[in-house]
């Protein structure tokens, strides 16, 4: 596997130091917060559909507050994710000799419309494939790098499913909420429930993929540092 173990500088950064680690930790924390809010919204939506009298008497205000908090949390997640991706690809290009995606290239793949349909898959698949190039035996503590690559690859199809379902449900829900007295408005509580379920799904997928990458990078850096220390003692 072509990777760097020597303590050299590239783009002003030491290989042994992950520029993405701090932002990654913050992103994981905010994703947990977002998942908790989505889970609470799901519970409240279930109450609204099944026992509306209890919901409207006791929980409607709480549901409104949850919805109010969910938007800024989602915005923070998006901003932290893009910052993390930029720094992560800086780290990946420092660790792997053959890593093909630059930091700016990763952002282009993720945010440019139409292009990102392919770009999102290419970005995460490339990360997963490089993790899976780890040559350690399965009983080694560094086999977790391979596990991270396998996990990331396995969640990638679910990311597309989550994005597609969430986008469709959100559009239908918005249309029902703004159509006034049209027939779709009667189904708004059920649509809000579906939106809450899709939101939980999106957060679970993003959280698992982020944790897989975060774990893989930490273990890869630990491995490279151990090899570097071993070579220096030798």
* Residue 216 · residue 148 · CB < 8 Å: yes
In angstroms, how far is CA 25 from the centroid of its own chain?
Answer: 12
Rounded to an integer, what distance in angstroms lies between the CA atom of residue 15 and that of residue 173? 47
DSSP summary character for residue 187 = G
- 122: Cβ–Cβ under 8 A, 6 or more apart, which residues? 101, 109
Extended strands (E) in the chain: 9-10, 13-14
State residue 167's pLDDT score. 94
Can you give the residue ranges of every domain in the chain?
10-233
Rounded to an integer, what distance in angstroms lies between the CA atom of residue 234 and that of residue 229? 9
Give the mean model confidence (pLDDT) for residues 214-229: 74
Q: Give the rounded percent of residues in the chain with a pLDDT score beyond 70.
A: 82
State the distance between the two ends of the chain, measured CA to CA, in whole angstroms.
21
Give the mean model confidence (pLDDT) for residues 167-187: 81
Per-residue pLDDT of 12-65, as tens digits, reads 334 457 899 999 999 999 999 999 999 999 999 999 999 999 999 999 999 999
Look at residue 146 and tell me whether its pLDDT is greater than 60. yes
- 3-class DSSP state of 144: helix
Rounded to an integer, what distance in angstroms lies between the CA atom of residue 14 and that of residue 94? 8
**Residue 135's closest CA among 127, 146, 125, 126?**
146
Look at residue 7 and tell me whether its pLDDT is greater than 50. no
- 3-class DSSP state of 214: helix
Tokens of 186: 């009667």
Q: Poorest-confidence range of 45-54, 129-138, 151-160?
A: 129-138
Q: Poorest-confidence range of 18-22, 141-145, 160-164?
A: 141-145
């Amino acid at each position: 596997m072509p990777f760097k173990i020597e303590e050299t500088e590239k783009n002003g950064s030491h290989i042994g130091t992950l520029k993405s680690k701090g932002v990654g930790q913050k992103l994981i924390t905010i994703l947990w917060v977002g998942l908790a809010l989505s889970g609470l919204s799901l519970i409240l939506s279930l109450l609204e559909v099944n026992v509306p009298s209890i919901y409207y008497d006791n929980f409607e205000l709480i549901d409104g507050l949850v919805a109010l908090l969910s938007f800024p949390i989602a915005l923070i997640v998006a901003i932290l994710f893009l910052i993390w991706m930029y720094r992560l690809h800086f780290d990946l290009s420092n660790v792997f000799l053959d890593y093909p995606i630059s930091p700016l290239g990763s952002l282009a793949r993720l945010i440019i419309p139409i292009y990102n349909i392919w770009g999102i898959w290419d970005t995460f698949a490339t990360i997963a494939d490089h993790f899976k190039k780890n040559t350690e035996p399965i009983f080694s503590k560094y086999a977790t790098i391979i596990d991270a690559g396998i996990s990331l690859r396995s969640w990638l199809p679910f990311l597309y499913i989550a994005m597609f379902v969430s986008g469709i449900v959100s559009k239908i829900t918005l249309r029902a909420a703004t159509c006034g007295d049209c027939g779709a408005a009667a189904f708004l509580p059920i649509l809000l429930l579906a939106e809450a379920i899709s939101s939980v799904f999106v957060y679970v997928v993003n959280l698992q993929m982020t944790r897989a990458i975060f774990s893989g990078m930490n273990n890869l850096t630990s491995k490279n540092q151990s090899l570097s220390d071993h070579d220096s003692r030798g």
